[in-house]
Amino acid sequence: MISQDIAEAVLREAKRKGSTEADLALVENELVTVQVRLGEVETIRSAREVGLGLRLFFGKRSATSSTSDLSKESLARLVEDTSVLAKVTAHDEFSGLPSVGECARSFPELHLYDSDGEALPVKERIARAKEAEAAALAYDPRITNSEGADFASNLYRIIYGSSHGFLGEYRGSTFSLAVTPIALFNGAMQRDYWYSYARKLSKLESAEAIGRRAAERTIRRLGGRKIHTQEVPVVFDPETAASLMRILCSAVSGPSLYRGASFLIDRLGDRIAPEIVSVYDDGTIPGYLGSKPFDGEGLPTRRNAVLENGVLRSYLLDTYSARKLKLAPTGNAARGVGDVPTVGPTNFFLQAGQYDPAEIIRSVDSGLYVTELIGPGVNLVTGDYSRGAVGFWIEKGELAYPVEEITVAGNLKEMLLGIEMVGNDLTFRNSVVAPTLKIRRMTVAGH
Amino acid sequence: MTTQLVKPERFFLEKFGLTERHLERGLGAALGAQIDYADLYFEYRISEALSLEEGMIKRASKNISQGAGVRALAGEKTGYAFSDEISVQNLELAGSRAKAVAERAGAGISPPVKVGGSPRHDLYPVRVQPIEIPVEKKIDLLQRIDAIARKEDPRIVQVMGSFASEYKIVLVATSAGVMIGDIQPLSRLNITCIAQEGDNRQMGTCGGGGRAEFEFFLEDGRFERYAKEAARLAIVNLSAADAPAGTTDVVLGPGWPGVLLHEAIGHGLEGDFNRKKTSAFTDRIGQRVASELVTVVDDGTIPSRRGSLNMDDEGTPTGRTVLIDRGILQGYLQDRLNARLMGMKPTGNGRRESYAYQPMPRMTNTFMLAGDSTPEEIIASVKRGLYAVTFGGGQVDITSGKFVFSASEAYLIENGKITRPVKGATLIGHGPEVLTRVSMVGDDLKLDEGIGTCGKDGQLVPVGVGLPTIKIEGLTVGGTEGLNKAESFLQ
């Protein structure tokens, strides 16, 4: 079990070893995953895991460490080992904790934890997974197989403390239900999936709805064709548009910027997208998946306008990258136990526009509607973008037939500027989300 | 710590005060009347990472993780529970939780557990674990790399280097009475350079590693080569034109482009997908899936390789599995569960990221055997096409068989000659069919430098790939170069 006492004891030990500043994160997860397949339970995985991530500063030198062993002896050794390591790193004038004044002084109640859902019996989890899969299997006779359905939950607790005297704690919960059916037609198989993910059990989509949606998405992929290479308008559905947001998020993250590893360096204040595009990062929205009361360095989370009416207004920064870039931190320090402290989004989203998704598709005479992207294919330094795609060919404003084994390519700088229509279908079903987006022109490669 | 003398079973039994009887109690708790098989998996891992950027060692980190997982198998059901506190109480608790999945009643039977099994192989006998090498030596290595890369070209404006090493001790005790352990060293050096010319910024990455001693990086000028290669790639890309879009002949260079096999073939031949009949390769054993020039193997027994293991994470010795023999599909990669359910033998491919996960079939080192053509002949045979030599990574949709892999260094071939560099692009194809269009296989088989990490169901494991130079007739290349120019590519 983690506790504030452990946090305080480790910080005291760090001071005793001569560290000038120190901070740490203690994390406890209670995980349960239930997998069913073809109506039978396949796997149940359960565990409680704990971890501590420590960062020590000796003047302007620092090192980090982590352990899953919270015994007294192990923690004393960890402080010792980290001290040794910190002394060999370089003097870095930008390193150090945020100032005391920047840290959160009160913690808003963000409704991140579901005390009603916490005790959901395993039997009930199995039943929900079975129901979702059954709904998918019953949807169409061409759904012949399944990769199964998963019900997963995590009840977590996070404590963050620093030698400045900051000590904060919060709890959170997540629940998810996902189904992956398989359809067979004319000797070719297709799979697709649907899922629901929420902080509260009561906010999950119904098992039946998830199963039906998964089946519908799978069936519509049957009979996919390859198309000829051409330049056309491309419509990204909300799931694939969210993947563009994840890339944007990396491109505006402090570490990518000060390393010169982003196509958006030195662009603050510039127009990088049309006026219809506004992107926010907001960690303060109660009950949302990316919300938290304070970031990985104890700074209050807040609402950052990343793009406002197409103009790049803010990067996402932790204390270190903010100092490097001569800007102020934005409350986006991310702290995992085993990872080096870095920058991450909270709720990162492209604001909904005015168009119904059907209207967006209707606006395309000949083009591509993308529903899945695979492969790495993104060069953050240059913005070059080339990924495998699955989706539908749009003919005269209608989805005409499924397409596969094609790629979509362009450059992210031009893709952002080329956003022509923004859908009204934004839903916060994950922490990084977007509505349907239409990009004026991209290269689609096939035959 | 004199790690070379550590015996995995003694390590865990002494460190956590456990005895063979305790292990039997853990297994006993997991076993019941309807349980086919149970096992315990213990893991202790120390890792260290150092990274350099802007000429400074900015980050140093050390991570320690330890824990145990208990698994109970009954038919197709798996119960898995793990704890990061290794104690007899937790083993029993995890064991009974795991059992509860598969059945409701039945008394536990304690199986006898014997100490002293050791893996058949000894593929990475290191004298000194890389993690025990003084940190100053690793820092010195990174600083030398920084200097070498910057000296390559004044246009190199940023060098990022990292050295990561880990030391992992694992122990498996099974209800079949086997107890077997392994000590697994692993290290990796990675270098990324950014080159700038005016507004044009480009990146190049190179690295390598394996289950070897620290000296591996100093031998044969390896670290100098990685540094120069990362710098060269960034510089080459400064002059790269847009990649073609459309279908064209593709020549893949030797080594890391073997990621093609990993995506197009390897995942689709993992036992779990084939037992569930969700793979595009389902029920295709004995059928032709490649040209007769193509033989592909998965071999976990190559000394010192990143993808190699003395035993898999279920205690089965690793082996060499022929996946495709002269174009004909031969076999699957199996863990215990899927092998048993399919009436086959485990192949030593049951792997897991850590004690927090149950094992599943995974690749080790996957590569194509060499053919007869010289690389020069292969390139000379192509009128117009793409020569792709360095790749980022790839991904596959196992069910439809569609896969992609992304080139980060590529050139045009025009009239049998390599001409201009083009920007990286994604290549896309259909797994069960792409290798039927392999029309030439080179005599220059090379394994990658030891940088691969494979992700499946959220679990990451180190793997290797390898390839000789090969020619594939007609592969879709996802560049942006205009349609008119691309059309001249159609043959």
In terms of residue numbers, what domain contains B145? 3-238
**In terms of CA atoms, which chain A residue is nearest residue B54?**
A259
User: Do A201 and A254 fall within a single domain?
Assistant: no
CB contact under 8 A, A67 and B478: no
CB contact under 8 A, B478 and A388: yes
User: Do A207 and A237 fall within a single domain?
Assistant: no
pLDDT digits (tens, 9 = 90+) for A161-210: 999 999 999 999 999 999 999 999 988 999 999 999 999 999 999 999 99
Q: How many structural domains is chain B composed of? A: 2
| Total H helices, total E strands in chain B | 11, 22
pLDDT digits (tens, 9 = 90+) for B305-339: 999 999 999 999 999 999 999 999 999 999 999 99
Nearest to A340 among B61, B81, B392 (CB): B61
Phi, psi of A418 (to 5 degrees): -90, 5
The CATH number linked to A81 is 3.30.2290.10
- Please count the residue pairs, one from chain A and one from chain B, whose beta carbons lie less than 8 angstroms apart: 257
- b vs e for A4-33, b when ≥16 Cβ sit within 10 Å of the residue's Cβ? eebbeebbebbeebebbbbbbbbbbbebbb
Domain boundary among B216, B238, B260: B238
User: Do B268 and B197 fall within a single domain?
Assistant: no
CA A115, CA A126: separation in Å to the nearest integer?
Answer: 20
CB contact under 8 A, A46 and B97: yes
Chain B touched by A85 (CB under 8 Å): yes
pLDDT digits (tens, 9 = 90+) for B386-423: 999 999 899 999 999 999 999 999 999 999 999 999 99
Domain boundary among A168, A200, A222: A222
* 3-state secondary structure at position A163: coil
CA B202, CA B448: separation in Å to the nearest integer?
Answer: 23
| Amino acid (1-letter code) at residue B244 | P
In terms of residue numbers, what domain contains A270? 224-447
Report the alpha-carbon angle B32-B101-A35, nearest 5.
Answer: 150
CA B324, CA B291: separation in Å to the nearest integer?
Answer: 10
Phi, psi of A255 (to 5 degrees): -60, -40
Question: Could you give the percent of chain A with pLDDT greater than 70?
Answer: 100
CB contact under 8 A, B158 and A261: yes
Environment class of B34 (CB within 10 Å of its CB; exposed 0-12, middle 13-18, buried 19+): middle
User: Do A115 and A207 fall within a single domain?
Assistant: yes
Token reading at A339: 């990872």
Domain boundary among B212, B238, B264: B238
Chain B touched by A88 (CB under 8 Å): yes
β-pair partners for A31: A47, A154
| Amino acid (1-letter code) at residue A319 | T
Q: How many structural domains is chain A composed of? A: 2
DSSP string across A129-153: HHHHHHHHHHH-TTEEEEEEEEEEE
Chain B touched by A121 (CB under 8 Å): no
CB contact under 8 A, B81 and A67: no
User: Do A203 and A346 fall within a single domain?
Assistant: no
CA A112, CA A156: separation in Å to the nearest integer?
Answer: 10
Domain boundary among B211, B238, B265: B238
- Give the closest residue to A415 by CA, choosing from A205, A245, A195: A245
The yes-or-no verdict on residue A54 having pLDDT over 90 is: yes
pLDDT digits (tens, 9 = 90+) for A380-423: 999 999 999 999 999 999 999 999 999 999 999 999 999 999 99
**In terms of CA atoms, which chain B residue is nearest residue A48?**
B83
Mean pLDDT of A34-56: 92
Environment class of A217 (CB within 10 Å of its CB; exposed 0-12, middle 13-18, buried 19+): buried
Give the model's pLDDT for residue B425: 87
Cβ atoms within 10 Å of A141's Cβ, excluding its own: 10
**In terms of CA atoms, which chain A residue is nearest residue B65?**
A68
Mean pLDDT of B63-75: 90
Q: Which residues contact A309 (CB under 8 A, 6 or more apart)?
A: A275, A276, A277, A278
The yes-or-no verdict on residue A370 having pLDDT over 50 is: yes
Give the model's pLDDT for residue B91: 79
- Give the closest residue to B90 by CA, choosing from B35, B25, B32, B37: B25
The yes-or-no verdict on residue B111 having pLDDT over 70 is: no
Decide if B293 contacts B327 (C-beta within 8 A). Answer: yes
Separation of CA A75 from chain center: 31
Give the model's pLDDT for residue B488: 36
CA A260, CA A5: separation in Å to the nearest integer?
Answer: 41
User: Do A128 and A271 fall within a single domain?
Assistant: no
Nearest to A44 among B76, B79, B247 (CB): B79
- b vs e for B134-170, b when ≥16 Cβ sit within 10 Å of the residue's Cβ? ebeebbebbbebbebbbebbebbebbbbbbbbbbbbb
User: Do A82 and A155 fall within a single domain?
Assistant: yes
Residues of A in contact with B278 (CB under 8 A): 145, 147, 182, 189, 191
User: Do A232 and A317 fall within a single domain?
Assistant: yes
- Stated length of chain B: 491
CB contact under 8 A, B84 and A375: no
CB contact under 8 A, B62 and A85: yes
* 3-state secondary structure at position B215: helix
**In terms of CA atoms, which chain A residue is nearest residue B277?**
A145
